[in-house]
Amino acid sequence: MYGKYRIKSRLVVLVWVIILILPARDAEAFGSDNAASGVGLTFSTNTFYGSGRSEDSPVPPGLYYRGGLAWLPGKHLEIELYHIPQITPRLYSQVFFGGSAGYWMLERKENSYLNAIVEAGFLYGLDRTKLLNLKITPIVFGCPAFRYAEKFCTVGLLFDLDRKRLSWQLQLLAVTLYL
């Protein structure tokens, strides 16, 4: 039983190492300049809402923390890996791992400060819940040139692949600190 979790945890560590090593390569290979590319740490809180009764929701109600790694390989693309553990009502009673690819609507430049992002991704829960995710962030302040980005009012639509049910995700504020 624990062997499966050990293999999965090693796979997660391997993916994190690859994501950390790839950005260390020359940024010009990805068709970008230094002001538009970067690696950052992302922190936020999330809540999830079912589309009907609470027992129909694929994600238990409560407050969730989201922490992860963001990589900006070009002037519009953003790739993120993250984990989302539940923090209320019971700490770590549900945990998700996920990834997303986002598109910054305006080109990231050294002097650009306001933007919006559309993202598509997936979440995988330790209880084997598999979710597809589509999100929009209408307000983004900052960029790698400023060493931070604040994302406001992200709304996401989640689709549970097993139960064929929809739910919603709300993220009021996310902060990315670029290294």
Read off the tokens for 134: 């589509």
Q: Does the pTM of the predicted model rise above 0.85? A: no
Q: What is the CA radius of gyration of the chain?
A: 17
104 lies in some domain: no
Backbone angles phi, psi at 22, to 5 degrees: -55, -45
How many separate domains does the chain show?
A: 1
Convert 146-179 to b/e letters by CB count within 10 Å (16 or more is b).
eeebebeebebebbbeeeebbbebebeebebebe
Read off the tokens for 37: 């590319």
> What is the extent of the structural domain holding 72?
1-78+88-95+109-132+142-152
Task: Say if residue 59 is exposed, middle or buried (CB neighbours under 10 Å; 0-12, 13-18, 19+).
Answer: buried
Residues of the chain with pLDDT under 70: 1-37, 52-56
163 lies in some domain: no
Q: In the prediction, which pLDDT does 105 show?
A: 92
Q: In the prediction, which pLDDT does 153 show?
A: 95
Q: In the prediction, which pLDDT does 56 show?
A: 67
Per-residue pLDDT tens over the stretch 46-87: 998 877 665 667 888 889 999 999 998 888 999 999 999 999
**What is the distance between the alpha carbons of residues 138 and 120, in angstroms, rounded to a whole number?**
15
179 lies in some domain: no
168 lies in some domain: no
Nearest to 88 by CA among 129, 131, 130, 45: 45
**CB-based contacts of 100, cutoff 8 Å, min separation 6:** 79, 80, 82, 119, 120, 121, 122, 133, 135
Q: In the prediction, which pLDDT does 55 show?
A: 62
Q: In the prediction, which pLDDT does 27 show?
A: 43
123 lies in some domain: yes
157 lies in some domain: no
83 lies in some domain: no
SS3 30: helix
